[in-house]
Chain A
Amino acid sequence: MKFKFKIHRHPPEHSVPFRISVLVMVLVAIVTTLMQQFEWPSWGWQVLAGTIAGFWVSYLRREKNNWWIKLIIAALMIWAFYDFFRNLLLNVYDPRIPLTSFLIWLQTLHSFDLPSRRDLNYTMWVALILMSAAAVLSRDMTFGTALIFFVLCSIYPLYFNYLCALREKAHLPPLTRWNWSFGLYSGTLLIIMTLSLVIYLAVPRTRRINMRPLPMSFTLHLPRFGMGRIKNPAYPSSQSGMLRLRRIFNAGAYFGFNAFLDLNMRGRLDSEVVMRVRMSNELYLRGLAFDFYDGAAWSFSRETTQELKTLMPPIVAVPAKTDGIFSELSTGSHQEIQIIHVEKELPNIIFSAYRPWQLYFPSDYIFSDAFFGLRSPFPLEKGMIYSVVSLVNEFAPARLSRSKSLRYPPGIRELFLQLPSLSDRLKKEASDIASRYRTPSHKAQAICLYLQNHFQYDLDIPPFPQNAETVDYFMFVTKRGYCEHFATAMAVLCRLSGVPARLVTGYTPGTYNPLTGYYEIRNKDAHAWVEVFIPRFGWLSFDPTPGWSPDPEESEKEQSFWLASMLINYLKETPLKEVLEASARFIKSIATPAQRSLFRSFYLKGGILVVLIVLVMFFSRRWWKKLSLGKSLKTPPPGKLPPGTPDEFRKSIVENYLALCRTLKAHGQMKNAGQTPLEFIRILPPQLPQAEIIDLTLLYLEARYSLHTMGPGEARTSKSLLEIVRRSFREKTG
């Protein structure tokens, strides 16, 4: 039995410009991917050098049988695969880095075996995959620059790829020159960018994160220490409980992430990014909750912490009994995922949306304080990643309003109604604001709105007098302040109204970057707000600071990431506002509430957009015709004149030719019936006007036997040729 192995080999690619352009594209992709990692890997330069060397070797050996190179590559790829799995097993919760490293090595090894254009095409595909991986890894705007560069570099290899294929098909020699029209390049780039922008704006974007398991950094197995005490690297002296640190403000860190919150600290926090968070909605990231107010500062009445541990992630966060959370309060909530990338060294506080449920944290244990503040056994380092699944309450306002219960769980009133001695005017003020409302939620909302509408936000207020009670001074003297003052005032007023409240510090959602998909949280986004306990519903957040949403429902409002919507919102600030509002009113008037709700669905928006585009294309007949294939004309039967062809010019040419024959015949050159016109002119003596006779003969053949349209020009030409011949004969005989 004979076996025949037929190895299908593609023709080698000889074009140097094509190879160089692919190399540049690949190098850009590799560098971009490497840059997205937290730090440049030690093998990064080796990979780049190896890729360049590989391309060089591939070009030199493109026509040779490289079986031994393939063997080496295969062996190295097996090693790379093993290395990938080894790294993956170290941290299965973040496979991105091992995967991108594996892809990069794959690309480098493959670059040693690129003989044909098809292999170079595969390389371009891998470069695209690398860019995709880098896009997933990227957290900041540096990827945008790299992406632009990648697009600029990738047009060239695509162009060369197409041109080389075309030349190969036409059996032309390989492309060796770099010449390309700048006009075509810039035009192509402009069209691509324009279309990309339109698509980017029009494509609907969902708001849900659907990933499991959630990413987290490599798990650190550290010995237990500290028992969850707060460690703030920016305020190292505040490690022991009640020590107050006055007037040493650190602009690079929020003073509220300490064991106490001094309400007389003044200063502006800087704009350094501390975290980048992926989350579906704009959620406040809670850090610490304080219950004890002494008139000038907040602190914890209890320093107890409980350890939460697990063998395998996630860690399930269990609140302390003093937090007043019971199982029935978990109904009516939905899951919100936050993936947090720490960009700067932070205190050992695990920031998350309230109420955290599952944590994917790089430690097998964490701590939870008495007020459900989660703490890490170590400060959060730059580059750390952790994820949290929170159960966020979504209570309808009507349901909240109906809750008139004043039955609080044990300990809530004792802890969260505590107040120092306060002025009578403050107590009266609280009574005036909240006494007309019967339910705790209404009272809290009234107080919140009151503070928002009657006081101003100001970061530059001077420190309060040392003996002044903060809330009293804020409400009756300065009437200005910042978030801690507003939150303190609300907490005090709520407590005065009999509603348990506590002050919470953390971060606001920051600024959403639509390009990266991250919320960028900066130092200056550190914030303080209030949590109010509503019987049967638990702790609800209120933010009395002007400019922030007071309604707990607002923070859970569906966020549309559809950039077209953002564009429309932007246009509302322009003179187009009237047009947009009139359109919206019209739509509202004709649509039922259910239809309006459906219309807001982004799926329907996307579908409508697609349908509109299709309709425009369909009805744009002119464009449709040009896109379609050319219509074939009906070819008349051979020898027959096409319909509508003017015969008069053909007849004229034929008659002129016959006249030529008669003229020649009269001068002894008779065309025999057994000769074709071409055979006849071949035997004519050279002294005759050969050129004119040949031209007229060819014109005659075209007029008689072709489908070409004969016009007056051809007829005149035949006439003039005949005259020349006749004149020539006359001159000879004359």
Chain B
Amino acid sequence: MKSGFWRYSDELILLGVSLFLFLVASNTQAGWLYLLNSILLGTLLAGFIISRFSLRGLAIERRLPFIASEGETIRVTLRVLNKNRLASYFFSIEEFFPAASPENLKCGRMFVFERLPGKATDFVTYEAECYKRGIYTFPPLRVSAGAPIGFFNAIKALNVPGVLTVLPTAPALRDGHFSTARFESSPHNTARMRSGHSHDFLGIRQHQPGESTRMLHWPSVARTGILMLKEFENPVGSQVFIFLDTNRRFHTGLGKEASIEYAVKLATSVARHALLHGQAIRLMAARQGEFFALKTRDLLQALRWLAAVEADGEMETEKMFVKLNEEIPRGSRLMLILPEPSVNPELFVPLMDKKIKCHPLLLKTETFIENIESVAPAPDESPQQEVIILNRMRSLGLSPVVCGRGDDLLRCLREQGGLFK
């Protein structure tokens, strides 16, 4: 599409022709040429005015599901309303679906309206595949009109707010992968949360048959006549901590095959499995120099959090570990998803001193680099160095698992199954 000055190249040529005709008319006194010239200019001016008028009074709304999953095809509907009394002609709307694949990202969808009567509404619908997880904001719609003869095409950027959250998908962990003996099963195949022994009051809920009556909430019982239990925040043992190192310096790869995507998928699988079995999760990551954490029992909330994760962290690894040490209670279970180059086994020592059981998953980031042959290895990234690091971690009592591009994520998680034991 022509842009800038060249967008009006045809019109400028016509203006040049008009000027030439005027000069010829002036020199030859050919009266009809003046009139022809005036008609030419009048046509250009009419095109300029009518095209801008066609854009006035157009209002557009977008309807779409706000949550979708990776790879899911969603339907987007645009509702176009003409607020004018007169009809609008020959305008087009170009929509750029933000969650499209990279090759389709710049290809907008164009919808042409030959005529939209005054005070009338029209709908256009299209389907689009959500390529990758993320939180996407729809860019402004490009509305253009050149009615009726295509001169001085008016283009207007119409901002129709729209946010689409594409949740990450990940292979589902099955119970057989881990030992879940701590959980009681119910007829409805749902896990029940046990009241914890901490002092964090969570709320009250109805007493279920078979449960202890030690923590009855007597005021509610007296008021309602129904047995109601006090609920406390689950103790340390029933919470899963998941940490993602999002340091931009270490993550590599593009698109869906980027190392950060693998990290998110791993975290998604673990989080979903934990929530499915009634465990609360605490997701942690460093984003743009700040440490972010989410404590939740809501899968959708967790998935939204994970959808927003990007490899944009700027916090030093040492600082992250210090922060982890501060945040995570003693005796907790912590899954760390780290890009391999950032790993310093000594940083685990303070955590282990605090009896925090660390389960590191290392991402072999060099496997995510396209055209790896053209990249010279860093001096300290020799294969021997990797072995040294892994050995050191094992010597500290850790069980690191290395995951590269193309590896089976479930296998990696199974190898790290100690998280749920």
Contacts and interface: CB of A to CB of B under 8 A. Distances in A.
Interface of A: 128, 131-132, 134-136, 138, 143-144, 147, 151, 155, 158-159, 161-163, 165-167, 169-172, 181, 183-185, 188, 191-200, 203, 205-206, 208-211, 278, 280, 513-518, 626-627, 629-630, 632-633, 635, 638-639, 642, 666, 668, 670, 672-679, 698, 701-702, 705-708
A151 B167 CA distance: 58
B107 to A, nearest CB: 10
Given A184-B148, A517-B32, A676-B67, 10 more contacts: A132-B36, A134-B32, A136-B24, A162-B147, A162-B149, A184-B115, A208-B26, A626-B56, A673-B280, A678-B67
B278 A673 contact: yes
Nearest to A677: B300
Given A147-B36, A209-B29, A192 B21 contact: no
Interface string B5-41: 0000000000001000110111111111111111111
A705 B165 contact: yes
Contacts of B38: 196-197, 199-200, 203
Nearest to A518: B31
Which secondary structure dominates where chain B touches chain A? mixed
A673 B32 CA distance: 82
A210 B111 CA distance: 52
A707 B161 contact: yes
Contacts of A698: 65
A701 B67 CA distance: 8
B32 A192 contact: no
B179 interface: no
B254 interface: no
B89 interface: yes
A159 B148 contact: yes
Contacts of A707: 161-163
Interface string B138-169: 00100000111110000111110111010100
Nearest to B31: A517
B188 A203 contact: no
B303 interface: yes
B50 interface: yes
Contacts of A670: 188, 190
B36 A135 contact: yes
Nearest to B281: A673
A188 B90 contact: no
A520 to B, nearest CB: 11
Nearest to B13: A125
Most chain A CB neighbours (cut-off 10 Å) among B24, B56, B89: B89
A324 to B, nearest CB: 33
The 4 closest A-B pairs by CB, nearest first: A517-B31, A162-B150, A674-B276, A196-B42
B32 A516 contact: yes
Contacts of B41: 195-196, 199
Contacts of A199: 38, 41-42, 45
B155 A629 contact: yes
Contacts of B227: none
A193 B45 CA distance: 11
B92 interface: yes
Nearest to A134: B32
B50 A132 contact: no
A155 B42 CA distance: 12
B194 interface: no
Given A674-B273, A702-B66, A707-B161, A131 B36 contact: yes
Contacts of A193: 42
A151 B39 contact: yes
A705 B137 contact: no
B66 to A, nearest CB: 4
Interface string B260-279: 00000000000011111110
B163 A158 contact: no
A203 B21 CA distance: 13
A172 B36 CA distance: 35
Max chain B CB contacts within 10 Å: which of A163, A515, A518?
Answer: A163
A639 B308 contact: yes
Contacts of B298: 673
A143 B34 CA distance: 13
B34 A205 contact: yes
Contacts of A162: 90, 146-150
A708 B161 CA distance: 8
B297 A183 contact: no
A135 B33 contact: yes
Contacts of A128: 17, 40
A165 B112 CA distance: 11
Nearest to A678: B67
Interface in B194-243: 206
20 contacts: A135-B30, A143-B32, A144-B35, A159-B149, A162-B146, A200-B34, A200-B38, A205-B25, A517-B31, A630-B140, A632-B157, A638-B136, A639-B308, A673-B276, A674-B272, A674-B276, A676-B167, A678-B67, A702-B66, A707-B163
B275 A674 contact: yes
Given A136-B30, A676-B299, A192 B46 contact: yes
Give the interface centre of A171, A196, A516 by most chain B CB atoms within 10 Å. Answer: A196
Contacts of B157: 629-630, 632
A638 B163 contact: yes
Contact of A674 (B92, B110, B146, B277): B277
B322 to A, nearest CB: 28
Given A147-B36, A192-B43, A516 B156 contact: no
Contact of B303 (A159, A635, A676): A676
Residue of B30, B65, B298 ringed by the most chain A CB atoms within 10 A: B30
B87 interface: yes
A211 B28 contact: yes
A159 to B, nearest CB: 5
B49 interface: yes
A639 B135 contact: yes
Contacts of A705: 66-67, 163, 165, 304
B113 to A, nearest CB: 10
B177 interface: no
B52 interface: yes
B161 A635 contact: yes
Nearest to A563: B34
Contacts of B87: 181, 183-184
A36 to B, nearest CB: 9
A516 B29 CA distance: 9
B408 to A, nearest CB: 22
Most buried by B among A513, A630, A632: A630
B346 interface: no
- Most B CB atoms within 10 A — which of A134, A144, A195, A516? A195
A205 to B, nearest CB: 6
Given A192-B42, A707-B161, A626 B52 contact: yes
Nearest to A204: B26
Contacts of A513: 31
Interface centre among A144, A172, A666, A672 (most CB of B within 10 A): A672
B290 interface: no
B114 interface: yes
B221 to A, nearest CB: 17
Contacts of A136: 24, 28, 30, 32-33
Contact of A706 (B27, B33, B52, B66): B66
B299 A135 contact: no
A158 B31 contact: no
Nearest to A151: B39
Contacts of B28: 136, 209, 211, 278, 517
A211 B27 contact: yes
A199 B188 CA distance: 82
A172 B112 contact: yes
A170 B52 CA distance: 21
A431 to B, nearest CB: 47
A209 B26 CA distance: 7
A267 B298 CA distance: 111
Given A169-B110, A627-B52, A676-B67, A147 B135 contact: no
